[in-house]
Structure 1
Amino acid sequence: MTRTLLFATDLSADNRAAFARAMRLAYAQGARLDILHVIDPYLPRRMLHDLEAAVVEDITTTLTDLREDYALEAPQTLIQTVTGAAYAEIVREAHERSAELIVLGMHRKRGQKDLLTGTTVMRVLRSAPCPVVVASYLPTQPWEHIVLPIDFSLTTRHTLKEALTRFPEAKLTLLHAWALPGERELGSQRGYAQWREREVAALRAQLEEEVETLMRELDGVPEVELLLEPGSPCDVVNDYMKRHTPDLIMIGSRCQPHYASQLTEMLLSEPHCDIMLCRTW
């Protein structure tokens, strides 16, 4: 059975980085790249034939340009247009093609967190049957440094396995945000600092055991670094990205169709790198 990656394009210049990333991923994974453009269903029918031909020509030209601009190898490709609501058609096509991955360009609502809800990107993230990459940075190289916020959940375990399996040559940073009860009230009291050190050490030991258990199940795992930082997940991840500029951040979805975590919203509102969201089931 042919492995398939699905790239949905709106044909804008903002999509070029995601288009090139989709090509790089498909070729590296030996998969066919299905390129999809969704056409407004309310356009006059007499326009559709000429419009579809123009879309295919534009996509074909962009493929050639990207190969030359970034010295990319061309994967096997399939170009298709459909009519309908963009997010619904992308999700439907991913289901029907059993796509292993969906690649999208970054939305245009950067810095406007309150406007994210209705974007195609957010709607696809909530309903996609497979991992979704939202790319906005030019793929001059494969992702070399990947960050994965972790806790003890099934969601984290699944996302970590995706990272270890898909990107065995990348450096992987596991980032855990922690907070201890009573720190504000008791932090200045005698003995609290020693207690805190013991609690954080125990937490690190638990996380290391979780990671090692999963890594023993896999071969050829990448370099892994485990970091524990105090603070909320949003603050810890945001501070780390500003200091270290990773290539990709991978986060898990709890498969709640009408809910996006604060971390997901923060990353999409102010993207510092490409983002990959993985479903737990």
Structure 2
Amino acid sequence: MDFNTNIEIISEEEITFNVLKNDIEILLEENPNISRKEALRTGSNYVSNRIGNVNFNFLKPYFDVDDAYLINKIVLILFPYLKSQWDMDDNRINKPDLYIPMMSLFTFIIVKSMYLGLKSLFTPEHIGLIFTRLMFFEIKIKFRRSILNEEINDKVNSIILNENKHYDEIHVKKYDTYKQGKFKNKNMRSYGKSLDIYNLKYMEISSRYTVKPKKKLCEFTGLPAQFRCPYTRLYYYDSSVYKHLRQLSSDVITFIYKTKEIGKTFNPFNMTK
């Protein structure tokens, strides 16, 4: 009885499982000795077949990569100011993909886990912990300007990210600088002589050169809109998908630089001094 009730609930959710319900009822009537597990297996096979009919071909172009593409695309992301032509119709490298963002996210987690392993602090739970903190950190980046004020930012740092304000602001600005095109902090000395400062300044220089071109020169050239400013072809770099790769390149340098400091306390999300 409970099984039939569950089938009715599923059918009420506007999912086309009426055929599934009828097939299972007929199966149970014709075979009274059949177990409920076998009936559920039949239903599962039906659902799997229905899901298998969903077309995911629209995602294939975003994962159509090879070794040459990966090398050229990573160089483009790290050194975008070396590129002069951004027309995505004629150049495959200029088109966005999903392979690099996903793999850079996983590599980011692996590098953090390796650092924990060097200090004999790694446990399997740290993988989920790092991933969760990274997701919260990404949410914070998206909403820090419109929703979160200074007080809430501090709460997020201490409760969710478990970071001190000093290094959290460095990491926030490394993510946010590329999008905004400038480093909004007048007192850089407050961060000390940190390796993160050099990574941050590199991000600022790259973003100023590409994402923030001189608007007046773009507006009054008289050319069609798509050619007035070729750097606007970088619009997809403004999303968060490529920020993990730039953050990863920064943290790999920091990882190599700080492996000598094995005896000091390590934060699984933020490699502090």
TM interval, shorter chain, is under 0.3
Q: Which has the higher strand share?
A: 1
More helix by proportion, 1 or 2? 2
TM-score normalized by structure 2? 0.24
Superposition TM-score, scaled by structure 1 size: 0.24
Structure label with greater radius of gyration:
2
